[in-house]
Structure 1
Amino acid sequence: MSQLTFPEFEYQRPDLDRLETAFNQVLEELKTAETVNDAVAAVEQIDAIRASVATAYNIGYIRYSINTKDEFYREEKDWFDNHLPRTEQWRVDYYRVLLDNPHRAALEAHFGQQLFDSATLSINTFRPEILAELQEVNKLSSEFTQLRGGAEIEVDGKTYNLSSITPLEQVADREKRKEASTAKWNWFADNRQRLEDIYAEMVKLRTTMAHKLDYDNYVGLGYANMNRTDYGPEEVANFRRQVREYIVPVAQRLYERQRERIGVERLHYYDLSFRFPDGNPKPTGSPAEIVAHADRMYQELSQETGDFFRVLQDRKLMDLEAKDGKAPGGYCTFVNEHQAPYIFSNFNGTSHDIDVLTHEFGHAFQVYSSRDQRPMEYNWPTFDAAEIHSMSMEFFTYPWMEGFFGADTEKYYYSHLAGAFRFLPYGCAVDEFQHHVYENPDLDNAGRNAIWKRMEAAYLPHLDYSDNDHLQAGTFWQSQGHIFSVPFYYIDYCLAQICAFQFLLKDEKDHASAWADYVKLCKAGGSQSFLELVKLAGLENPFEDGVVKKIADRVGERLFG
């Protein structure tokens, strides 16, 4: 395994013509393999070719994210946007040969059923006829990232971006946080037309792709793209119903308690991020001190996590602090040929810095734990299962929070647990919004905003935008990047949160057993489907009636006890 540091990783634009020729040669070998061993070897060679493309893409994407103003990596990102969709044909051709292979039964025994279930679902997600639409969607997604990454928001003569303005929205002075929040939303209002037009074009392009692939609308194609092999829209709709029935009422009690606690007559949008009258919990140390305590925390949590955090530090596989030109948000990705996870975030001096460090570390620990899984599809599970690792890690690290928050530790525990619980209605609102949008693709911008207003009424009735015309129009969804770039990737957080709450409860009861189940889940990677992985970890299926209510009751007891 490479021990190079990330700055030492060589970037080279892949020669897709040469790689395609090599890919097709190996594909022919897979098709005509005389023995199972020959077929397995061909699959491994195909993995290596695909991994080389993924490696180049991820190195370039990380460096572009770190500095969206870097002309070289911006051009490389544009090149991938235009050319990477071509490799979708490789994947579909490979899956067809795999499914029709005379050694299929033996290959299933060797690699497991999940690869073949995924292949069956995925062969209907691409044909050459949709290549132009994929390229256009990629370009629009990059424009969206560029637009947000370049945001300049002026408050009191200083300029902030969408990440660095967050602390100003959490100050105790209500007028100051209103000023900061209003300034942020004014940026969205100023860019509203372009944001709405980008999304409208994305919906149109995705709908066109769905029709070309013989789907009624993009919902079916979206679920297939998310590789959901063991549940569909009906199960998700039933899950959302249970969240409305059991979670929303408890969340509303939490908002009412917050209103009383901070002493306001009504909670306005600029009050929502302000949780306590003496201020929100904040990390006490510098970014370097935070990382140093994280090192101690992971050393003490387990041998595996301690060793891995040292790998992240020694190989410079993290970029954590907000800076000019950096893309907003946080993520973890995996540079295949170096077997190296990478954590990207934007520290801004709020408790979110710690949430991101534990959340993205959970992702990174999982993919590092399953880095040797083959085929490469098994390095990561589907997003729904992947979020179990990240959200559960936030809970497993609770015993070390005092080192980050000092006197604010108890406030952090309450704020984090309440925030995780209150997220569920919002996550479901985002998901149902997308279903309505793609089931009604001919709606105009105003129609989509009206859908969001309905979602707010159903899931988030506490919201008060009465003194902000922009938000009152139903535009809040335009700040949610997943809606633009990764359709239907949001309910995954909700499903995983229900599972993570179960890990919290198990950990309180028996840490050794809970941790063993967690590590087992991480090592399994994507070798099983979502519901199979849930079962493997000893968790209850979040779709089953009664599970959401059980979580609402038990977590509610902690929040109101």
Structure 2
Amino acid sequence: MYPMSTVTHPPAGPTDFVPADIDATRWETLAPLYQALLDRALKCANCLEQLILDRSELDAAAAEARANLYIRMTCHTDDEAAKKGYLDFVENVSPKLKETGFELDRKIVESPHRDGLDTQRYEVLLRDLTAEVELYRPENVPLETEDTKLGQEFSEVAGAMTVEFEGKERTLPEMATYLEVTDRATREAAWRGVSERRYRDHETLSVIFDKMLDLRGRIARNADFDNYRDYAFKAMHRFDYGPAACADFHRGAEEVCVPVMRSLNRERQEALGVESLRPWDLGVDIKGRDPLRPFKDVDELVTKTSKIFHRLDPELGAMFDSLRDGESLDLATRKGKAPGGYQENRDRIRKPFIFMNAAGMQNDLETMIHEAGHAFHSILCRADPLLHYRHAPIEFCEVASMSMELICQPYLGEFYDDAEAARARRVHLEALARLIPWIATIDAFQHWLYTNPGHDRATRQATWLELNDRFGAAVDWTGLEQFRAVSWQRQLHLFEVPFYYIEYGIAQLGALQLWLQAREDQNRAMTNYRRAMTLGGARPLPELFAAAELEFDFGPPTMKRLMDAVAEELESLPL
């Protein structure tokens, strides 16, 4: 077990280096301040520390400008002005920030006063900046810009997808509600409608992805890596685990979770009385009950979610309520809105923003609680004056969110009666048996994609299908093979944030450990949660886990212990 870390933040708040009213969307206003940092003479360790603090505040202003433009663009993908504003930043500001950021990273890393800094306080920052200096290549800046623009292109294509169903144009998140209805013909029609709509753009998305693969391969080679996977591990600061540990996770998913998932599939097939289980049979209630509908509109969602958090922990409840200011939540699904959900930090005002596509489903409630967990993490660590430490490793960010989904389960009565709440808990726990194999599928696919440069689409498709056979559910795809072959395209991470996915699996194992703590002693679990999240990213990943009294391990033995606990809980819940 790693030693438990604690942190005492230096005084919080902005320095006086960055004007409060700076327009950080324009490089012309940022450039003089960054140049002043580059030109500043450093005579001692205190001077270096002040440079780091001033740079942090300026970076926060630029990051918040980008975040606000991204929020506006994803909330209104059909707004040309919003699209132009974001692309202008990506094309004209982000490259300059990367170039100047490298120069500042190098100034800090190579400073003769570096050894005079507090070793524990700056250990992680200096480790990460050193990696950035080693990776930086000026020729990669335009390639990274082009990759980001392609990601926006994917978002635009995906956000425009709608289906005409039952006489009305519907977004794909809205269509998901029909996969839970008891009439099998309706479910099939809905599933086919969505799949056919996605398939209509599969060639467009393949072209985008081919361009991304080429760009990412060139980025890796420019930085003297044999492949993009190895480059990405260093770029993502994965210092505490590598490809071998990921392979352990894949093996654990295959050996522990896939058998559980397929057993649940067989139970479902028998309960539904169908000859074979089809893709549209996975979401319906096996007893023929109507789909869980926890809320009618986002006002009800927010009000009742607030009550859950106040019952769980009054401090978290107050944090959630602070987001109900009319500027920090965009929750309802609508046409022209990007797919998915996210929590975005606004780093200058130090206040999170939550985006999602709520359509009244149980999954929407889980997303609300999940993204609120990210927001709690942001709020708990926002006192740290270093922007770098107000962003934790993704593997731990997801512990903050996924643990909330589990720990909040005893309070689902705010949305449901007792029977419905038990059913919702069962649905969530069963989903874990599906989620971990899916994470392994996506991660293994990415390892293959980026260690086999130059592959053709047919080989890519064959590999995807092999991984589906290895990790997939016991589902009959007869007659639907063309949809299955391109089903990877629905995972936006492959397009927009390459190699960001196994973090969910690592974090899920951490979240399950915190859930087990809460079952024994909720006060202890919440104390551990707050202590660990307050650290932000100030300590190495294993120490962040240790701060919450969690083991940083994700091989088959750990996975089996945790999934056994899930199976035990499922046994106690009615079907």
Partner of 1:550: 561
Does residue 466 in structure 1 map to residue 478 in structure 2?
yes
Query: In structure 1, how many angstroms separate the alpha carbons of the residues matched to 2:501 and 2:405?
Result: 18
SS at match of 2:174: coil
Partner of 1:141: 151
Does residue 70 in structure 1 map to residue 79 in structure 2?
yes
* Contact persistence 2:370–2:401 (CA under 8 A): yes
For residues 448-459 of structure 1, the aligned pairs below 5 Å read: 448-459=460-471
TM-score scaled by structure 1?
Answer: 0.95
Aligned residue pairs total 552
* Contact persistence 2:441–2:471 (CA under 8 A): yes
Does residue 380 in structure 1 map to residue 401 in structure 2?
no
Report the aligned-residue RMSD: 1.9
For residues 398-409 of structure 1, the aligned pairs below 5 Å read: 398-406=409-417, 407-409=419-421
302-311 vs 427-436, which moves further: 302-311
Partner of 1:80: 89
C-alpha distance after superposition, 1:399-422 (max 9, x if no partner): 210111224111101001111232
Partner of 1:346: 357
- Tell me which of 482, 486, 503 is aligned to 1:492: 503
Query: In structure 2, how many angstroms separate the alpha carbons of the residues matched to 1:427 and 1:529?
Result: 23
Q: Which has the higher contact order (CA 8 A, sep 6+)?
A: 2
Q: CA deviation at 1:198?
A: 0.6
Query: In structure 2, how many angstroms separate the alpha carbons of the residues matched to 1:509 and 1:294?
Result: 23
Partner of 1:5: none
Partner of 1:240: 250
Letter in 2 for 1:451: T
Query: In structure 2, how many angstroms separate the alpha carbons of the residues matched to 1:321 and 1:487?
Result: 27
SS at match of 1:283: coil
326-335 vs 61-70, which moves further: 61-70
Query: In structure 1, how many angstroms separate the alpha carbons of the residues matched to 2:476 and 2:234?
Result: 37
Unaligned runs of 5+ in 1: 3-8
- Tell me which of 430, 433, 438 is aligned to 2:445: 433
Query: In structure 2, how many angstroms separate the alpha carbons of the residues matched to 1:559 and 1:460?
Result: 21
Query: In structure 2, how many angstroms separate the alpha carbons of the residues matched to 1:478 and 1:520?
Result: 38
Partner of 2:54: 45
* Contact persistence 2:161–2:198 (CA under 8 A): no
- Tell me which of 210, 222, 226 is aligned to 1:216: 226
TM-score scaled by structure 2?
Answer: 0.92
Query: In structure 2, how many angstroms separate the alpha carbons of the residues matched to 1:213 and 1:95?
Result: 17
* Contact persistence 1:258–1:275 (CA under 8 A): no
For residues 250-329 of structure 1, the aligned pairs below 5 Å read: 250-276=260-286, 277-314=288-325, 316-329=327-340
Letter in 1 for 2:427: S
Structure 1 segments, 4+ long, off by >6 Å, are none
Does residue 524 in structure 1 map to residue 535 in structure 2?
yes
Query: In structure 2, how many angstroms separate the alpha carbons of the residues matched to 1:303 and 1:560?
Result: 31
Letter in 2 for 1:192: H
Partner of 1:26: 37
Does residue 515 in structure 1 map to residue 526 in structure 2?
yes
Letter in 1 for 2:558: V
Distance 1:110 1:554, change over 3 A: closer
C-alpha distance after superposition, 1:503-532 (max 9, x if no partner): 111100111111100111111111122222
Query: In structure 1, how many angstroms separate the alpha carbons of the residues matched to 2:171 and 2:38?
Result: 47
- Tell me which of 459, 480, 490 is aligned to 2:491: 480
Unaligned runs of 5+ in 2: 1-11, 14-19
Query: In structure 2, how many angstroms separate the alpha carbons of the residues matched to 1:417 and 1:428?
Result: 18
SS at match of 1:405: coil
SS at match of 1:401: helix
Partner of 2:100: 90
Query: In structure 2, how many angstroms separate the alpha carbons of the residues matched to 1:402 and 1:77?
Result: 41
Does residue 417 in structure 1 map to residue 429 in structure 2?
yes
Partner of 2:164: 154
Query: In structure 2, how many angstroms separate the alpha carbons of the residues matched to 1:362 and 1:110?
Result: 27
Query: In structure 2, how many angstroms separate the alpha carbons of the residues matched to 1:78 and 1:390?
Result: 30
Query: In structure 1, how many angstroms separate the alpha carbons of the residues matched to 2:536 and 2:567?
Result: 31
216-225 vs 353-362, which moves further: 216-225
Query: In structure 1, how many angstroms separate the alpha carbons of the residues matched to 2:273 and 2:146?
Result: 49
- Tell me which of 163, 168, 173 is aligned to 1:163: 173
Distance 1:484 1:264, change over 3 A: same
